[in-house]
Each structure stands twice: as structure tokens, then as C-alpha cells.
Amino acid sequence: MEEPIMAGGQDLKKEHQDKIKKVFEEVGKVVVGQEYMINRLLVGLFTQGHILLEGVPGLAKTLTVNTLAKVLHLDFHRLQFTPDLLPADLIGTMIYNQKLSQFEVKKGPIFANMILADEVNRSPAKVQSALLEAMQEKQVTIGENTYQLDRPFLVMATQNPVDQEGTYPLPEAQVDRFMLKVHVDYPSKEEELEVMRRMADMSFSSEAGTILSKEDIFAIRQEINQVAISESLEKYIIELVFASRKPADYGMSHEAGFIQFGASPRASINLNLAAKALAFFDGRDYVLPEDIKEIAPDVLNHRIILNYEAEADGITTHDIIESLLKKIPINV
């Protein structure tokens, strides 16, 4: 199904930008803080990119995604990934109808606009890989037939840190299909105080209202697509990605000793798209270097694979990305 083409001028664009601000306010009625996570989830939604959220349990990852689905009035399914989950539990299967003496398709929970794959790294690789076709092709195959998924379609997966008990590392091919990997940190003292007060008040109740429609989402996608990015910033994105692959060619010999694999071409595409989304959220129709630098850690941190030397020396992907942003110049 093709997304509808929406027409609109500056007034409609301003209206959509105002609605995005209201989305933050509405989600805030239920979720305390986490503006950064909400921002990145919206970046994924409006640029057709899937999001991987990483953080310890209890940081409102599931609550945030659930609330956002209500605010956007999208069909939402939450699936708890467990060690005994099967691929058919995700995409569906063929069942035999005794009355009709034939097999019928029973569609799985993947058939929704927003999928929350909760604790995705608690299931074996076979189940994790079942997401691949849906994430990349926006379709699934059951038996001999292929079924298109509804639009918009977005996978938001949460994972626990890989050093926790009972977790499986995600296959590199699947990780690369996530547009952003967002690290969710602990709340501030003030935010946790507010969380405690809300949860300790058994009479507290708050519901989030609907702000955006599917038509709004399709229109915003087109408006973000029209955000301008200069040729010099396009080349800057390419230099960043290539420097992650061959850092020695960019005067980064020290960092070269820690990198096993650099970022894939998807990193270049997603840096471009995500920077445009940030510019649109900020009310601009053009990308600034700051937009690329702000989103670069979330686009690159799961695509740069470090070696054992990096682990032994306590070097993280964050350290490598920070070096890239410092040493790669912007030739305006």
C-alpha cells in the first residue's frame, strides 16, 4: 500500500511542528522525563527507521512506547521475548480448519503499526532473525504466501545490557537494521522523586490523549523529506562513516587499533534522514552540522564493532565516535 501524498504549505508545516511539541507534553502526562528517548522514537517514526532501546529494567522503556502509540492513535502490539518463544509466535502460522478441510493463515502480532519487541535479546537467534524480513521489506511470509504489513510500520525493541544473565547478543545483520540504538539512562533525582510520588499515590491516574493521525504522520514524513542538506554536509556524513572503516587514513592510527568493523552504508543513509528530522523538529527547513553531530552517536554506536584490544583497554564505541566527531573536519 502506497502512502498517500499530502499537500500543504508553510501553515500546515507549522501546525505539524506544533503537534510534535504537544506529543511530548501528552506523553509527559504519563511518563516522567525521558524527552531524549521520546525524541529518538519520533525520529524513527517519521523517517521509517526502527529503534533499539537499551537500558536496565525499570526505566519506563515499555511504558513510553505504549503511551506514544496511544498518542499517535496507532495499532500497537507488545510481544515479550522469552527463551521459549517461536518464530510462529511472532509472524503467525498455518492452522487446519476442520470444517472447511483446508489450511488457513493465522496472523501473528507482527501485523500492527507499532511493534514493541520487549527484551528482544532474551530470545535465541532464530526468533530474533524472524524480525528481519518484516523490518527490511515491510512484509512477512507465512507458508507460500507473502503479506504486506500495514503502514506506518515501526519496530521498537528493548534490550537489557548484554552482560546481564539470560541474554543473547543480537546478530549483526539484525542490529544494523535498527536506525538508532538509544541508551536509556537513569532519571535525575528530581525526575525520580516525581516518579516515586506518582507511584506512591494509589489514586493517581493520567491518560494520554491522541494528537497525531496516520495522515499527519505521512504528511510529516514528506515535509522532513523536503528539508535541505548541503553538499558539504552530505560529504561530511560520508567522511564520518569512511573514517570509522579506515581510521588510519584520517590520521587516527590510535583508534584504528581498536576497530574491527566500521559502519555500514546504512549509517550514511540514516545520518542524513535523522539529521533532517532533528532540523524539522527544531522548526528549520535546512540541516546544520550540529544536527549531524547530535544524532551521530545513536546512528553509529551499534554499527562500529570493536575488537578484544578495545575491551581490554576499556575503550567503548562512544570513545571512538567522540574521536571521529573531533577529528573529521567540516569543509563548508
Confidence tier at 164 by pLDDT (50, 70, 90):
low
Number of domains in the chain: 2
- Mean pLDDT within 269-286: 93
Whether residues 63 and 163 fall in one domain? yes
319: CATH: 1.10.8.80
Q: Which residue range is the domain that position 80 belongs to? A: 10-218
Confidence tier at 270 by pLDDT (50, 70, 90):
very high
Whether residues 20 and 56 fall in one domain? yes
Q: What is the pLDDT of residues 15-36, one digit of tens each?
A: 888 888 888 888 888 888 788 8
Whether residues 71 and 165 fall in one domain? yes
- Mean pLDDT within 172-178: 82
Whether residues 74 and 139 fall in one domain? yes
Whether residues 214 and 232 fall in one domain? no
Whether residues 211 and 236 fall in one domain? no
- pLDDT for the residue numbered 6: 46
Residue 332 covered by a domain: no
Residue 5 covered by a domain: no
**C-alpha cell recorded at residue 1:** 500500500
More confident residue, 163 or 231: 231
Confidence tier at 166 by pLDDT (50, 70, 90):
low
Residue 171 covered by a domain: yes
Whether residues 196 and 261 fall in one domain? no
- Mean pLDDT within 256-284: 92
Confidence tier at 165 by pLDDT (50, 70, 90):
low
- pLDDT for the residue numbered 162: 57
pTM, whole model, 2 decimals? Answer: 0.85
- Last-in-domain residue among 160, 183, 218: 218
- Last-in-domain residue among 167, 186, 218: 218
- pLDDT for the residue numbered 202: 67
Whether residues 150 and 210 fall in one domain? yes
Whether residues 75 and 192 fall in one domain? yes
Residue showing cell 518463544 = 85
Whether residues 20 and 168 fall in one domain? yes
**C-alpha cell recorded at residue 228:** 535541505
SS (H, E, C) the chain: CCCCCCCCCHHHHHHHHHHHHHHHHHHHCCCCCCHHHHHHHHHHHHCCCEEEEECCCCCCHHHHHHHHHHHCCCCEEEEECCCCCCHHHHHEEEEEECCCCEEEEEECCCCCCEEEEECHHHCCHHHHHCCHHHHHHCEEEECCEEEECCCCCEEEEEECCCCCCCCCCCCHHHHCCEEEEEECCCCCHHHHHHHHHHHHCCCCCCCCCCCCCHHHHHHHHHHHHCCECCHHHHHHHHHHHHHHHCHHHHCCHHHHCCEEECCCHHHHHHHHHHHHHHHHHCCCCECCHHHHHHHHHHHHCCCCEECHHHHHCCCCHHHHHHHHHHHCCCCC
Whether residues 321 and 286 fall in one domain? yes
Whether residues 178 and 258 fall in one domain? no
Best-predicted range by mean pLDDT (20-29, 189-198, 314-323):
314-323
